[in-house]
Structure 1
Amino acid sequence: METIIYEFSETFAQSMDAQDPLAGYRKEFLFPKVDGQEAIYFCGNSLGLQPKSAQAYIQKELDNWANLAVDGHFHGEDAWYHVRKKSKPALATIVGAHEHEVVAMNNLSSNLHFLMVSFYRPSPKKFKIITEAGAFPSDMYMLETQVKFHGFDPKEAIVEVSPRENEHILRTEDILQVIKKHEGELALVMMAGLQYYTGQVFDMQAITKAAHHAGAIAGFDLAHAAGNVPLRLHDWDVDFATWCSYKYLNSGPGNISGIFVHERYAEDRDLPRFAGWWGHDEGERFKMEKGFVPMYGADGWQLANSNVLALAAHQASLDIFEKAGINDLRKKSELLTGYLEFLIRQISGESGVLEIITPENPKERGCQLSLLIHKGGKDVFDEFYKHAVVGDWRHPNVIRLAPTPLYNSFLDVYRFARILEQSLNKFA
């Protein structure tokens, strides 16, 4: 990538936007307002913006429901019986998989539990799970209860990998060392792909390889990675993964999740799973007979029939992703985040008031920067909001900012920097 010499000026930001081949996608999203002013929205890591097309996509299915009712399952464009297939090409591209390895279904926490049924199969000797310290609460609760369900003590069975003293991010060699240390008792490595608090992208390929060498399974929660960083789950040999669609995939609050199951398990009928009729062989499904026969690939983990309205909103965003291209989005993301980093360092200088705890290497982070504010804290963050900046506050003193390449601009980043400067002058 061509080296960009950043400048702390509005003219520079405007020139970057003028050269941005993805700039036009901003117009495809609806921005919230704060006290009547359009927001500088840096919170796609919690909830992505609504595509303007989402309403029409949902309305189309409402019309099908109104005009066809139950016949909509088998008649009309995109008949509901096979509607899950429409999202597969985009999802496969986004997570780096074959289409038969992915399917949109359920929500993230449910999928974590269902996948654990298949992929956490502890024995008295090999029962431990390795995860990152400070994992997102859903992951912590899921692991705790799964371990208890199998009769183990979470304090003994769950091994958390922490950063070194006075560091904020995990070193890959430390993760691999912990895997090696526990290999005789290790059943599963289950981590985030991108850590929600620090914004660190983990080396999923190296972690998976180490897990397999230890005779364990490797799975990832990609809530903050899917649609944010390029993924190659199939090539990395990951066993399973799941993600949500309401963050960087811009598909609506609480909307549908998706799963990846490596094709090595595509025809494994002996693998334990909690079954539902939508995962049963669709050619035989309406015979309504006993005896579960899973569909080929990830589809065999489905339970209930597809949530059609949810998939419609999801597809509105996925169609935009297919046009923009995940690799081009990543290029812009690195530039946007790099510009934000440059401006923060310019403002903070030698004061020590701001500390970026996200990796400095662009390859080790997504579009999120997490800032420790050592003076002013929540007052500084609240001042942002008064100036229509929407970010995310995390206890005790971290602000997460996510300039998202589909809809954020370099001018957004510049304007935020000026507001940051004013807020720090006021409270820090």
Structure 2
Amino acid sequence: MNNMAERAKQLDRDDPLAFTRAEFRIPTKAEIASTCLADPAAAPADRDSGDGDGDADADAKDADSSCVYLCGNSLGLQPKRTATRINQYLSTWATQGVQGHFKPLEGSPLPTWLDVDSRAAELVAPIVGASPSEVAVMQTLTANLHLLMSAFYHPDIKGRHKILLESKAFPSDHFAVETQLRHHGLTPSSSMVLISSPSSPDNVLTTADITDLITAHASTTALILLPGIQYYTGQLLDIPAITAHAHQHSIPVIWDLAHAAGNVPLALHAWDVDAAVWCSYKYLNGGPGCIGGLFVHERHALVTREVTDDRPEEGYRHRLAGWWGNDKRTRFRMANRFHPVSGAAGFQLSNPSVLDITSLCASLEVFGEAGGVRALREKSLRLTGVLEELLEGMGLEDRKMFRVVTPADPGQRGAQLSIMLAEGLLEGVMRELEARAVIVDERKPDVIRVAPAPLYNTFGDCVKFVKAFSAALEAARRERSG
């Protein structure tokens, strides 16, 4: 472990992205342990949170006082500039009132509120591999999923009516599918097909597991919903291959990218993906419950005929509509005829939350300064590889008490390693990790998910986690024998 600790220090010194850690508020150990609301004026927001090129003594002191936060797959940390951007938004609201919708302000980095969603789309588009016109920043993940299903799911009871869904998908996806089926007068028992692995006890799927089931149900399947990265195992699915296979059978696919957006490189347009949804509070660091996003490929979002008073509302894919999806040129005429703007923006409903988008864009600025997701992915692969190596190097008694369920192939995973503990250990291990200011998340009954995010985590964080994890397992052994 000592050799790995020295190696981790060298990797952190050589890391070209080390500067991005200083862009984030890394909670201190004292803050993590506190049960009182902190005074934001007293928060050490301006301290250097990195282990980089600053004063060595200050860096060492900071590294010792900071918690080890490996939970970006659940909630990303707060960028320091978030508070600045939100205060700028609040100042605009306070001093301009309704004029903030249309009036640009000299010296402000913020767009007018009328254009705030367009600015967010420009920033998030390269993260998901799309053109800005194919992206809308709006609503939340499951709401967007329902909106896309209303546009892409058109069941024919005597023909295509089934929805294919991964059997261990996040519960919201199950709920969305089941309720969409019932909305159309169908039942999950007849119209929902669950994809399971015939060989993996953890339901780690091969591409063939998925494509074979698509082929078997092709003549009766109307839609497929799959996760880009499976939330429990951390497995990255082969999005382009699965999408192409579905299209061979004329089946659209919606991808849930909650754990993929901001985590792994995506090329949604080039992969010919039909549609996708994501949230922004995990790897995108928008804040808890922050606004979501959706992608609609340009071929599905065209408006081929202009809607006029004497022409019917046609020439575009049907969707549930709201006034913010109306073309900006006619939006404020208050006419009761829906005239969608071409592209994903035409799927919008109500005014987006300017507060939410301001928070999200603060983080998206950092992505741009880091060189985008591909640069971050290179570091992420190294981080997760070091974490895996450290886990494999733990003592035999420790190794008997856990196993990693995430695929060992780096190309089949994102930043997360899911660790399956021996039965009955979860509560004790989580308690011991928290006592050591190590933050990961749990999935009952027996899994902890550990996700080193390359924007703010270090190789040293991986070493600290494994030391704390070993101590937690030792405490669990004593508790068992005691």
The answer to whether 1:374 aligns with 2:402 is no
In the TM superposition, 1:58-207 aligns within 5 A as 58-77=86-105, 78-124=111-157, 125-168=159-202, 169-207=204-242
In the TM superposition, 1:16-415 aligns within 5 A as 16-32=11-27, 33-35=31-33, 38-77=66-105, 78-124=111-157, 125-168=159-202, 169-268=204-303, 269-324=315-370, 325-347=372-394, 349=396, 351-374=399-422, 376-415=425-464
- Give aligned pairs, total: 423
Deviations 1:161-181 (A, max 9, x none): 112234421011110000000
Q: Assess if the C-alpha contact under 8 Å between 1:276 and 1:303 holds in 2.
A: yes
Q: Residue 426 of structure 1: CA displacement?
A: 2.1
Read off the aligned partner of 1:417 and give its amino acid letter. Answer: V
Read off the aligned partner of 1:297 and give its amino acid letter. Answer: G
Instruction: Summarize the Cα distance change of 1:116–1:7 in structure 2 as closer, same or farther, 3 Å threshold.
Output: farther
Q: Distance in 2 between matches of 1:106 and 1:255?
A: 9
What runs of 5+ residues in structure 1 fail to find an aligned partner? 1-5
Instruction: Summarize the Cα distance change of 1:263–1:7 in structure 2 as closer, same or farther, 3 Å threshold.
Output: farther
Q: What SS class does the counterpart of residue 129 from structure 1 fall into?
A: strand
The answer to whether 1:420 aligns with 2:415 is no
Instruction: Flag the structure with larger Rg.
Output: 2
Q: Distance in 2 between matches of 1:313 and 1:294?
A: 27
Read off the aligned partner of 1:128 and give its amino acid letter. Answer: K
Q: Residue 9 of structure 1: CA displacement?
A: 2.6
Q: Assess if the C-alpha contact under 8 Å between 1:186 and 1:215 holds in 2.
A: no
Read off the aligned partner of 2:364 and give its amino acid letter. Answer: L
Q: Distance in 1 between matches of 2:395 and 2:220?
A: 46
Read off the aligned partner of 1:340 and give its amino acid letter. Answer: L
Read off the aligned partner of 2:79 and give its amino acid letter. Answer: P
Q: Assess if the C-alpha contact under 8 Å between 1:8 and 1:414 holds in 2.
A: no
Q: Distance in 1 between matches of 2:374 and 2:182?
A: 41
Q: Residue 349 of structure 1: CA displacement?
A: 4.2
Q: Distance in 2 between matches of 1:151 and 1:205?
A: 32
Instruction: Summarize the Cα distance change of 1:359–1:348 in structure 2 as closer, same or farther, 3 Å threshold.
Output: farther
Read off the aligned partner of 2:145 and give its amino acid letter. Answer: L
Q: Which residue of 2 aligns with 1:14?
A: 9
Deviations 1:359-388 (A, max 9, x none): 111111000000001153321221111100
Deviations 1:176-234 (A, max 9, x none): 00000000001111111110000001111111111111121111010100000000100
Instruction: Summarize the Cα distance change of 1:348–1:354 in structure 2 as closer, same or farther, 3 Å threshold.
Output: farther
Q: Residue 7 of structure 1: CA displacement?
A: 7.8
Q: Distance in 1 between matches of 2:358 and 2:368?
A: 15
Read off the aligned partner of 1:215 and give its amino acid letter. Answer: S
Q: Residue 38 of structure 1: CA displacement?
A: 2.8
Q: Residue 34 of structure 1: CA displacement?
A: 2.3
Q: Distance in 2 between matches of 1:274 and 1:406?
A: 37
Deviations 1:360-419 (A, max 9, x none): 111110000000011533212211111001101111100000010000000111011111
Q: Distance in 2 between matches of 1:273 and 1:112?
A: 12
Q: Residue 11 of structure 1: CA displacement?
A: 1.1
Deviations 1:17-43 (A, max 9, x none): 000011111111112232265320011
Q: Distance in 2 between matches of 1:8 and 1:207?
A: 42
Q: Distance in 1 between matches of 2:287 and 2:265?
A: 22
Moved more, 31-40 or 413-422: 31-40
Q: Distance in 1 between matches of 2:142 and 2:253?
A: 17
Q: Residue 285 of structure 1: CA displacement?
A: 1.0
Moved more, 285-294 or 169-178: 285-294
Q: Distance in 2 between matches of 1:152 and 1:56?
A: 49
Q: Distance in 2 between matches of 1:167 and 1:185?
A: 28
Instruction: Summarize the Cα distance change of 1:154–1:363 in structure 2 as closer, same or farther, 3 Å threshold.
Output: same
What runs of 5+ residues in structure 2 fail to find an aligned partner? 35-64, 106-110, 304-314, 478-482
Q: Distance in 2 between matches of 1:281 and 1:178?
A: 41
TM-score (norm 2): 0.86
Q: What SS class does the counterpart of residue 329 from structure 2 fall into?
A: coil
Q: Assess if the C-alpha contact under 8 Å between 1:373 and 1:398 holds in 2.
A: yes
Q: Report the RMSD for the aligned CA atoms in angstroms.
A: 1.4
Moved more, 29-38 or 123-132: 29-38
- With CA pairs under 8 Å and 6+ residues apart, which has the higher RCO, 1 or 2? 1
